[in-house]
Amino acid sequence: KAIKRNKKIVALTAYTAPIAKIADDFADILLVGDSLGMVLYGMDSTLTVTVEMMILHGRAVVKNSKHALVAVDMPFGSYQPSASTAFKNASKIMAQTGAGAVKLEGGAEIKETVKFLCQNGIPVMAHIGMKPQHFNTYGGFKFRGKDKEEFDNILEDAKALEEAGAFAIVVEGTTRNLGKRITDKVRIPTIGIGASPDCDGQILVTEDLVGMSAAEKAPKFVKQYTNVTEVMADALAEFAADVREGRFPTKEFCYD
């Protein structure tokens, strides 16, 4: 079973080979998130992402990383029907990608499914708080833990998932106090995203933090460290100008 450690955990998303190669040098965990539906495919939500999509991207990330633990999201509908359905899809993802774990969104309602997976050789990372696959029931992507009932329910979710055998919990989009309380109450590591600096680690979508997100506005919790979009736009503009003015290709870029 996982235990806390003094050093903060660094986690990043990775959906492609180029990003995996770069991020692997800095991250303890690479998450192949179903957020790839929105980030790479321009979908409105994660709900139409399939197991097959996760396998293709998961395989690319595993093949191009050497150090980080690679966890792959189980998409909407792939684990909710039953524990046996969850195992069938999780084992398929693990076998065909080589990933080290899967991640499931949900709280106490999926406790038995998480327990079944863990007992049958599938390491599980849990995901509570603001759960993107549940955005329809929330009325949008809204932060969680604003009132006492919601606060207490999410805290109970964390305890239930720890008891079920999850080795870590992603805590997304909660009040800072709730993120801290969860971290204090469970023995397994918490990884925050829009939660609390008191979590045992942090994760962001890589494309968000480097300024490559297709979203018009990044979430409040995203710190943008650079703007790769501007760098790429400058390079593409220079290329286009060189082609149109006949400056490219020159002799050095041609075969004799």
For residue 249, whether the previous peptide bond is cis, meaning omega lies within 30 degrees of 0, is: yes
Catalytic residue among 150, 172, 230, 245: 172
Residues in Cβ contact with 84 at an 8 Å cutoff, skipping those fewer than 6 apart:
116
Is the Cα dihedral 14, 19, 23, 25 positive or negative? positive
Cα angle, residue 14 at apex, residues 66 and 88 outer, rounded to 5°: 85
Catalytic residue flag (residue 230): no
Closest to 91 measured CA to CA, from 74, 67, 108: 74
Helix residue ranges per DSSP H, the chain = 17-23, 36-39, 51-63, 83-97, 111-119, 135-138, 148-164, 176-185, 206-209, 228-244
Tokens 């759960």, located at residue: 131
Residues with a catalytic annotation lie at: 172
